Amino acid sequence: MIRNVNKEAENAVSNAKSCIYKQKYGDARRSVQEALQLNPDLRFGFEILVISETLFYAKESKEWEERKEYGNPFAYSGIDYYSLLHLNSTATISEVKTRCENLSSCLNWGKKRNDGFNFPCAFVAVSLIGDAKVVLCDQQKRLLFDQTRETWALVDSSPNSGDGEIAFKQAYLDWEPPGFDANCNNVRLRPVKKPRTDYSTVSSCVIGEEQCSSSPVSGCVRVGEEISLESREDVKKRVFDAMPQTPHYHPLDKYKGRLREGMVKAFEAAFVDLSEEIRNLVDPQSLWSRLKGFKEQLTQLEEMGFNVTMLRERLDKLQEIAKREQPSQVAAEEFKADIRNEEAKISFVRTRIMELEGDIEKSKVVIDNRRCKIEELKKDSFKVVEEFKSLAKSTWN
């Protein structure tokens, strides 16, 4: 009997979709991985693989306790943002931003599809990716995260990782979502360049539903000049003890079960993170650069029923203090402008001096040429005089 490889691949993808609906993302990863091995050009295969891996971490963030008994050396005592983005700790900010944009595009593309394939926990996954971007693109936060991460484990990547994993990481970096027409029932694809890799080593950190373990997420809090480690739960307790909350979450009433639970936890985490971000502001510039985002988050949290009065008051007072720095900043900018003007004048004068020196050199050359001409004319004149004298003194013949 002839083996129908394409049919087997399609069945594997269908199984992966089913696993995603059941939130068994490790099983989904293995199924779509098998499908891609059977048919590397499988429609939506690569995209579903990216989604299943990201959603695995999204679900993992809600189920630390269920995995504590297993011995995964890559399940640190917190969310490892490097592993989440399939990057190592030497990745540049540009690489982090590109990876976050690609993964977010993949999840958002999934939400825009209209063939009925939606992704449970996508909201939490996008939130995780956003958290990773915030932490790894901020030098101070990244330093604190790296220092905390060193206490989680002594390894940075899988000892079994090889060229296949490196190639797949590049595939992650290069991935672009396919085009689609929202007015059509079927997705309209455009050619997408996708490097082909060995999918058997997709991720060292995502090794299946049954094999991963973790412990509660850890966070860092700066106290004076010292850095203290504080568990995520301790931070949450401290924040909610200081600002008790009874949010109604009415906008989430249309969601049910674990999806709603995940969104609730995400908003709770967002409230805690926002309060800590405000507390960790270091200067007025850090406030102005993030003020718009703070206000948007406050509005969203308020819509969920959070009492954000204390946060708003803190922001208002910080703005009042920060505004006192603005006059000095304006004066400093004016001085900088004066310096730039004077430097421009100096540059202009130097350029003019060089031009004048060039004119002087040209004039010297002209003078030398004229003197040479004068000498030549003198010689010609001397010859004429001598010839004249010679003829005048000659005898009469």
* Domain membership flag for residue 332: no
Q: Quick count: other Cβ atoms within 10 Å of Cβ 365?
A: 10
Residue 148 structural domain = 5-216
User: Could you tell me if 106 and 50 are in contact, meaning their C-beta atoms sit under 8 angstroms apart?
Assistant: yes
Asked whether residue 183 is domain-assigned, the answer is yes
Per-residue pLDDT, 317: 92
The count of domains in the chain is: 1
Residue 186 resides in a domain: yes
Question: Does 161 map to a domain?
Answer: yes
pTM (predicted TM-score): 0.36
CA separation (Å) from 96 to 99, 164, 168, 213, 218? 5, 20, 16, 25, 21
User: What tens digit of pLDDT does each residue of 13-24 get?
Assistant: 788 777 877 777
Per-residue pLDDT of 237-280, as tens digits, reads 999 999 999 999 998 888 888 888 888 888 998 999 999 999 98
Structural domain includes residue 82: yes
Q: What is the pLDDT of residues 115-151, one digit of tens each?
A: 445 555 666 677 778 888 888 888 888 887 777 666 5
Q: Quick one: how far is CA 109 from the chain centroid?
A: 19
Q: With a cut of 70, list the residues of the chain below it in pLDDT.
A: 1-3, 43-44, 47, 57-79, 107-124, 148-230, 397
Question: Tokens representing 388?
Answer: 């004249």
Q: Does residue 212 lie within any of the structural domains? A: yes
Classify residue 118: in a domain, yes or no: yes
